[in-house]
Amino acid sequence: MFLPEDMTDHKETDKNPAKLVAVCFLEGISYMRKIQVEELKPGMRFDKPVYIDSNNIFIGANITIKEEDIKKLMKWGVSDIETAGKLIATKEEIIQYVKRAEESSAFDSRKIISSYNNLLKNRKRLIEIHRKACKAVGDVYSAIKNSEPFMPDDLELSLSEIIDLMKDNHNIFLFLYGLDEGKNYLMFHSVNVTFYALLIGFGLKYPPAKLRELGLGTLLIDAGMAKIPVYITHKQSTLTEQEFNLIKTHPIHGYRSLRELGKIKESVANITLQHHEQFDGTGYPRGLKGNMISEYARIASIADSYEAQIVNRSYKKKQLFYHAMKHLISLGSNKFDPVILRVFMSKMSVYPIGSIVALNDKSVGIVIGSAPDKPLRPIIKLIFDANKKRFEETKIVSLPDEPSFFITKVLDEKEAGINLLEVF
């Protein structure tokens, strides 16, 4: 944030952006200055217009900034706004605002670090639950392939274990990375999608019954692929138009199989049927649009797309978590429900957990958590210092609490010299 040279008495505010906003207000400064979007809070008002840039006004003078206004800026990728106005509030209100912001940030950071330490204790449990879930999904897919009736009992048992694990460990999906899928990509993918879908379900405050419906549907998300010839599903070159058209029939095959062979309820089977529909109506198989697509399927669509991007396939390389998230955001309201996408983004952050990042002091670390209201300022576990020397003890940097630090680059494992499986 810009600080005029004549404000030498307040240079310590460089290290605390919230205090700088307070100083600007209290001293009645009227120069055009930048304010980072992550510093904006619902309820703020300025006595002059606020601009996105020199040509675009964000909000008029004396108009209260709402939460949805801040979310729009985040969705558009705007990192800061400009205004010559003063923050309209009393001195006491500003001081209390700064105090609450600092206390809340510190509390959130402590909670995230504690959560990460708890995650480490549950890694083996995740691996075992994931293995059992993949087997349960594989058994159902085999039954569908042979047009045999099936019971979802083992699936529901595995789902209960996944939900119980995630209740207190929402970020446990961090350890999905590197699990060996072998030749069972479909089962592996379905289980992984379920973790990301449930993450959104928790973010939407779903009750247990809705979490179970959502989870069962995503475990069976690709049931229809069991009906597609193996030479197509395992093909390593580009599909022909005819082959791709066959692939596009899998949602219908899946829906029919779940309803007829497993007696799966309509609301759950619709996840399989509709997960390739798109919010703007350009998806398949029926070209449904907006809220015509079930909410469960709208959640599954986001989880399915994200997970598919971050794993290697025979025909494409996996993407970095950060680039996969950027891709989702770029598609925005065209392909996905924007409200649900924002929930996913608030849980994952712009830098998803597991991302390897370089900081401005040239140290390198891994994102282990994020504050929902500060998606550009995650919590980072440092691996290397500025001299590329590995830290021997665990060292955590909370960017919300350390305004002098910021991310300069996202790295892949080779570029960073890190094997994620060794440092989690």
Regarding whether 303 and 202 lie in a shared domain, the answer is yes
The mean pLDDT value of the chain amounts to 83
- In the three-class reduction of DSSP (H, G, I as helix; E, B as strand; rest coil), residue 397 is classed as strand
Tell me, what amino acid is at 116?
Y
Q: Which is it for strands 50-53 and 80-83: parallel, antiparallel or unpaired?
A: antiparallel
The residue out of 72, 89, 106 marking a domain boundary is 89
Give CA–CA dist 36/18, Å, rounded. 10
- Considering the domain architecture, whether residues 151 and 180 belong to the same structural domain is answered as yes
Q: Which of 357, 366, 343, 383 lies closest to 174 in space, CA to CA? A: 366
> Of 69, 89, 109, which residue constitutes the final position of a domain?
89
Residue 104 lies in a domain: no
What integer pLDDT is reported at residue 1 of this predicted model?
30
pLDDT tens by residue, 338-373: 989 989 988 888 888 889 999 999 999 999 887 777
The residue that leads in pLDDT, 311 or 26, is 311
| Rounded average pLDDT over 247-275 | 97
Is 136 among the domain residues?
yes
What is residue 86's predicted lDDT score, i.e. its pLDDT?
A: 81
pLDDT for the residue numbered 73: 83
Residue 10 has pLDDT above 50, yes or no: no
Stretch 254-280: mean pLDDT, rounded?
Answer: 97
Q: What is the pLDDT of residue 96?
A: 59
Range 244-269 average pLDDT: 96
> Which tokens in the block code for residue 326?
């950027």
**Is 111 a member of any domain?**
no
pLDDT higher than threshold 90 for residue 385: yes
Q: What pLDDT score does 113 carry?
A: 64
For 131-157, the pLDDT digits (tens) are 999 999 999 999 999 999 999 999 999
Q: What share of the chain is helix, strand, coil (3-state, %, to 5)?
A: 55, 15, 30
Closest CA to 286 of 334, 315, 263, 252: 252
Look at residue 272 in the predicted model and tell me its pLDDT: 98
Amino acid identity, position 397: V
Least confident interval from 71-85, 109-123, 286-300, 386-400: 109-123
Tell me, yes or no, whether 108 lies in a domain.
Answer: no
pLDDT given for residue 23 in this prediction: 41
Residue 230 lies in a domain: yes
CA dihedral 57, 61, 66, 69 (to 10 degrees): 0
**Same domain membership, residue 129 and residue 179:** yes
Q: Which domain holds residue 79?
A: 8-89
pLDDT above 70: residue 245: yes
Do 182 and 310 share a domain, yes or no?
yes
Asked if the structure places residue 96 within a domain, the reply is no
Q: Hey, how many other C-beta atoms are within 10 angstroms of the C-beta on 281?
A: 14
Tell me if 296 is assigned to some domain. Answer: yes
Q: How far apart are CA 402 and CA 16, in angstroms?
A: 8
Q: Are residues 161 and 299 in the same domain?
A: yes
- Would you state the pLDDT for residue 341? 92
244 sits in the region (left: phi over 0; alpha: psi -120 to 50; else beta) called alpha
Helix (H) or strand (E) holding 345: helix 338-348
CA distance 288 to 282: 8
Residues 278 and 363 in one domain: no
Residue 239 Ramachandran class (φ > 0 left, ψ -120 to 50 alpha, else beta): beta
Question: How far is Cα 295 from Cα 197, in angstroms, rounded to an integer?
Answer: 11
Helix (H, G, I), strand (E, B) or coil at 49: coil
Q: Are residues 338 and 376 in the same domain?
A: no
Residues 180 and 81 in one domain: no
Sorting pLDDT into bands at 50, 70 and 90, what band is 45? confident
Q: Please tell me the distance from the alpha carbon of residue 89 to that of residue 18, in angstroms, as a whole number.
A: 14
CATH number at residue 154: 1.10.3210.10
The answer to whether position 361 is within a domain reads yes
Total domains in the chain come to 3
Same domain, 370 and 342: no
Instruction: Give, to the nearest 10 degrees, the angle between helix 123-145 and helix 250-261.
Output: 90
Is there a single domain that holds both residue 306 and residue 159?
yes
Q: What does the alpha-carbon distance between residue 332 and residue 141 come to, in Å, rounded to a whole number?
A: 32
Same domain, 19 and 133: no
| Residue at a domain's end among 68, 89, 110 | 89
pLDDT higher than 90, residue 279: yes
DSSP 8-state class, residue 385: -
Q: Check whether residue 314 and residue 377 sit in a common domain.
A: no
Residue 10's identity, in one-letter code, is H
Write out pLDDT tens, residues 158-176: 999 999 999 988 888 888 8
Instruction: Say whether pLDDT at 382 is over 90.
Output: yes
At 349 the pLDDT is 80
Which residue, 304, 211, 329, is CA-closest to 251? 304
